[in-house]
Amino acid sequence: MTLDGRVVIEVRVNEYTGRDPNPHVPWSPEELAADAEACREAGAAIVHFHARDARTGAPAWGAGNYAAVIRAVRARTDLVLNPTLGASTVPDPLVRCAHIPELAADPATRPELAPVDLGSFNIDPYDPATRTFRNEDLVYATSIRGLRHEIDAIRGGGVGVQAVLWNVGSCRLLGAFCDMGVLPSTVRAQITLSVAWLASHPGTVRGMATMVKLLPVGHDVHWSGSLYGGDLLALAPAVLAAGGHLSIGLGDFHYATRRRGDAWPTNADLVREVVRLAAAAGRTPATPDEVRAALAAG
Ligand code: ZN
């Protein structure tokens, strides 16, 4: 996977995030397509999205919901597509990944990537201000067999896997899966840092650097930094200096930190800021076709 020092900018447009306080989170296929087009013009190469009910924003799990988004986005941009599996909202891994082979059966709706969270995690958000957990029962659990099923279903459809790493256990599991041939030896990975999920590393330079240090040796891991619940732009210079790519978006954080008066930032605003920070670090954004070529080369 050669990208000659270019930075791959992935925009994480919506997750299952609401519109309070930032109203710019896209939900419907049309909103997602317009947002994706603006992000592509700003310098993004990959769009990671969750299919949502257009009116309520509730999760929309059907393959048809994902297909509608992919068709709408492809009508307006050449972005690499990376749809969610649904994460903890779909407890059974056999069900969680079922839409990917369905989408992959038709080249018009086959995504290039799908993410797999490597491990099982407590996802009760912790609030240090009140010293309480918002909920004390949330577990996002996937067995090794379940993860292998997800990976096999994704790769079997000709779709690439984006390995999502939450902690040292994820890094070690990535090494094991690469050693076993479950995942290719050259792999794209996302380092997920988080403010409120204590199962992941904190969104600090040390939290990021420790993960990078623990990436499996002997394999070619192309990693991208992300931060759930915090301002990734503040950490981006350190990610860029460490050779990482960036995965950023309103799905992860409302970015009140970047508000100008009454104007909330859009996903494209965040991408523009990443491009500016990358330029300061001497790196230019990779195009979607450059990312496709790198993924295909392995
Ligand atoms: Zn997601």
**pLDDT on residue 77:** 98
Q: What is the mean pLDDT of residues 85-97?
A: 96
Contact 208, 242 (CB under 8 A): yes
Ligand 1 centre and the CA of 117: distance in Å? 10
For the four alpha carbons of 193, 199, 204 and 209, in that order, the dihedral sign comes to: negative
**pLDDT on residue 3:** 87
Alpha-carbon distances, residue 134 vs 91, 146, 197, 202 (angstroms): 20, 28, 11, 18
Contact 167, 215 (CB under 8 A): no
pLDDT of 179 > 80? The answer is yes
192 bridge partner residues: 226
Ligand 1 centre and the CA of 84: distance in Å? 5
Q: What is the mean pLDDT of residues 38-50?
A: 98
pLDDT of 245 > 90? The answer is yes
Ligand 1 centre and the CA of 99: distance in Å? 15
Ligand 1 centre and the CA of 215: distance in Å? 21
197 bridge partner residues: 125
Q: What is the mean pLDDT of residues 240-260?
A: 97
Contact 36, 82 (CB under 8 A): no
Ligand 1 centre and the CA of 168: distance in Å? 20
Contact 277, 234 (CB under 8 A): no
**pLDDT on residue 296:** 87
The mean pLDDT value of the chain amounts to 97
pTM exceeding 0.85: yes
**pLDDT on residue 279:** 98
Question: What is d(CA 157, CA 106) in angstroms, rounded to the nearest whole number?
Answer: 10
pLDDT of 84 > 70? The answer is yes
pLDDT of 298 > 80? The answer is no
**pLDDT on residue 286:** 98
CA angle 31, 124, 136 (to 5 degrees): 135
pLDDT of 259 > 80? The answer is yes
Q: What is the mean pLDDT of residues 39-55?
A: 98
Q: What is the mean pLDDT of residues 274-281?
A: 98
**pLDDT on residue 1:** 59
Ligand 1 centre and the CA of 86: distance in Å? 7
Contacts of 161 (CB under 8 A, 6+ apart): 113, 114, 115, 116, 151, 154, 155, 183, 187, 188
Question: What is d(CA 11, CA 278) in angstroms, rounded to the nearest whole number?
Answer: 15
CB atoms within 10 A of CB 155: 17
Condensed to tens digits (0 to 9), the pLDDT of residues 152-168 reads 999 999 999 999 999 99
pLDDT of 182 > 90? The answer is yes
CB atoms within 10 A of CB 105: 12
**pLDDT on residue 81:** 98
pLDDT of 232 > 70? The answer is yes
Ligand 1 centre and the CA of 15: distance in Å? 5
248 bridge partner residues: 11
Residue type, 39: C
223 bridge partner residues: 189
Q: What is the 8-class DSSP label of residue 192? A: E
